[in-house]
Amino acid sequence: MPFSDYRTALVTGASSGIGAAVVERLCRENLEVHAIARSTGALKELAERTGCIAHVIDVTDRAAIADLANRVQFDILVNNAGVDRPKKFLEADEGDIDLLVDVNLRAVLHLCRLIVPGMVARDCGHVINISSIAGNYNFGGNSTYHAVKAGVAMLSNQLRIDAFGKRVRVTEICPGRVATDIFNHVHGDDPSVRERFIDGFELPQAADIAEAIAFAIAAPVAVNIGHMEITPTLQVMGGLQTAKPEKTFPEAGKSGEPKR
């Protein structure tokens, strides 16, 4: 479906990184792009640079999101806003769990609830859910993040079932490591963070993710690109670990009962 079939787009988490790059890319297609984020200054600068319509809204503010969705019919929805608090689940903090569920999953569910029915009614629309390889693969220290991103992955699959028979396309974008400021947001604004995650690595840029999204949107109407994993060439997922036990249990007695 060429870009000319769409008029409006909504991008969340738009103030920086992938979100800002997506706004810039969609604006180049002469769409009316609405950009949502909490950062007033960054959004203002983005609007001045691209011509997008800025909305200083927290994606967890359900009333503000509903008001916007009621005022504008969106043909493209890009769910990009996300947060992380890397922590093993054995050390999980109540507030961190609530934050990740609210921003990374609940907000996505409500945005789809508010916008996708209109797409179905008009027989036209495209939902882009920017998830993560964490929704499909496991690596240490991000247990809640894995759980919510897996939820987004399943929602993406289910939306296609719920919109079956209509020209509403759904694409899940699963980035690996990308050269953005997200690591500073997560781990603290310290030079060592960039050295740990960015410097010296060959990484995709935010603009590369935006181009992949544009490719999916611009595909012919008969084509739905459902799932993209976009990782550095020099990054792989997976691995196998086997641990030795720290202690052994007593052998069972001759009667089959545990020794006491």
Catalogue the active-site residues. Answer: 145
Order of strands across the sheet with 76-79? 53-56, 32-37, 8-11, 76-79, 125-130, 168-175, 227-230
Query: Rounded to an integer, what distance in angstroms lies between the CA atom of residue 143 and that of residue 184?
Result: 19
**Cα separation of 2 and 215, whole Å?**
10
Q: Residue 117 CA to chain centroid, in angstroms? A: 21
Residue 71 host element (H or E) = helix 62-71
Q: At what angle do helices 17-27 and 206-218 cross, to 10 degrees?
A: 50
Torsion angle in degrees (nearest 10) through CA of 210, 83, 225, 14: -40
Q: What is the Cα–Cα distance from 84 to 104, expressed in whole angstroms?
A: 9
**Nearest Cα to Cα of residue 203 among 172, 176, 171:** 176
